[in-house]
Amino acid sequence: MKGLADFDSRWDQTARTGRGDVFEDDRLLVATDFEGGNGENVRQIAEDHYSVDLEKEPGEHRFGGLGYYVCLGLRNKLPEGRTVRVRMNATSEGYWGEQSASMVVRHQGVWTEIPVPNIHRISELPDSLDIDIMLPPGGTSDEATIFVSNYHWWPYTEMLDWLGTVDDTPVRQIGTSFRGRPVYAVEFGDPANPVMVHTQTTQPSEMGSLACKAMIDYLRSADPGAAEIRSRFHVCFIPMTNPDGTVLGFGVSDSQGRFPCFEGKLAAEHSPDATPETRNVWSYLEEKRPWLFWEWHSNAWKRRPGHMLLRYRPECLADEGRRAIWLDIDGKLLALPDTHHGNWTSHDEGLYQVTLGFQSVVNLGAISCMVKQHDKFPIEDSRRHAIQCLHVAADCYR
């Protein structure tokens, strides 16, 4: 049964024959068979009450077999707007239902947040949530259909379509994914200038790609601040690093069932076992030799109060002058609204020695950080936050 796989004519059709599920009666269509969708075993459990199981991450890595990303579409088939309840069931060892802080709705390209009172924990089901979702009135397929997720998801094919409009600055292919999907970089300014590189982490289905888009859109603008950054720096972006995982609706995995974010060291060592996704980014970093490399990620957990900075110790840098810049940057980032310290990593501390960020510090002498934006905030607030972070880096460089 076809659900919403071709809701948008641009969307990749892989999910139609692979992962995904469809439920339909004379009142409602619920589907996850579209690009980036995640959810299976969609069923009705009571009147206007439905249930969906989050699909498990593939592979043998630390998140393999767990589910914590969900993305489903709902189409109202009745003429009046109404509220339905959807139970979302994860497999995350009692963690997902207790920690999920937010759900977002995309309707006709516009993001809104589901009110917190509409998100219900279920005491006897710690890995499930009941979500009250307001459906628009039935009408055309576009008007009557909404998409619900715990992340601000962005389909890879929509990113490609947007990249096709970027005609005022260089866009170039820097590699391909395991399944052959192109990976692109967007570049601003004179390559002879000091280089900054910003990328989505090599995890899919997250808001990091939209943070990159926000900064790219800003640097393309006529804003005087954007013009100054373009004149002083060579600023580079890889807005989507794991297109296979994004298309397939994975949370952290690639199409091989591997966890590329925690395999960056293999790429830095030029191991033949490195994933194409990490190898693409590392080769680009070796080419550009940036003074700053930030990875952009997102999160939706209650235990994180806002945008989190996963930080590497500046002491890992040998260059004393660059360490001073780094300390200045970190201090100013932490002064931004809703921005908090997450954790530290150094040679003998923390969990992130194997990431591309840490490898860029110890092998390339870059200032690095993983910026984990929180999905509970309106998307425009997160866009502004990304641009503020970009200005902090530019203002602190000397």
Looking at the structure, tell me whether residues 162 and 118 fall in a common domain. no
Give the residue numbers spanning the domain of 278: 156-396
- Per-residue confidence band for 295, with pLDDT thresholds at 50, 70 and 90: very high
My answer on whether 299 and 342 are in the same domain is yes
290 in the same domain as 207: yes
Residue 17 has pLDDT above 60, yes or no: no
Domain count, the chain: 2
Question: Is residue 351 located within the same domain as residue 220?
Answer: yes
- For residues 219 and 312, membership in a common domain is answered with yes
pTM of the model: 0.97
| In a domain? residue 300 | yes
Q: Nearest-CA neighbor of 91 among 66, 57, 123, 125?
A: 66
171 and 129 co-located in one domain: no
Confidence of residue 93 (pLDDT cuts 50, 70, 90): confident
Whether residue 3 is contained in a domain is answered as no
For residue 8, being part of any structural domain is answered with no
pLDDT of 96 over the 90 cut: no
**How confident is the model over 45-83, as pLDDT tens digits?**
999 999 999 999 999 998 999 988 999 999 999 999 999
Q: Is residue 173 part of a domain?
A: yes
**CATH at 267:** 3.40.630.10
Quick one: pLDDT at residue 139? 80
Residue 116 shares a structural domain with residue 164: no
In a domain, 257, yes or no: yes
**pLDDT at residue 304, rounded to an integer:** 93
Same-domain pairing of 123 and 209: no
Residue 93 lies in a domain: yes
Query: Could you read off the pLDDT of 328-361 as tens digits, one per residue?
Result: 999 999 999 999 999 999 999 999 999 999 999 9
Q: What is the CATH number of the domain that holds 42?
A: 2.60.40.3120
The burial of 232, by beta-carbon neighbours within 10 Å (0-12 exposed, 13-18 middle, 19 or more buried), is given as middle
Report the alpha-carbon distance of residue 238 to residue 150 in Å, rounded.
23
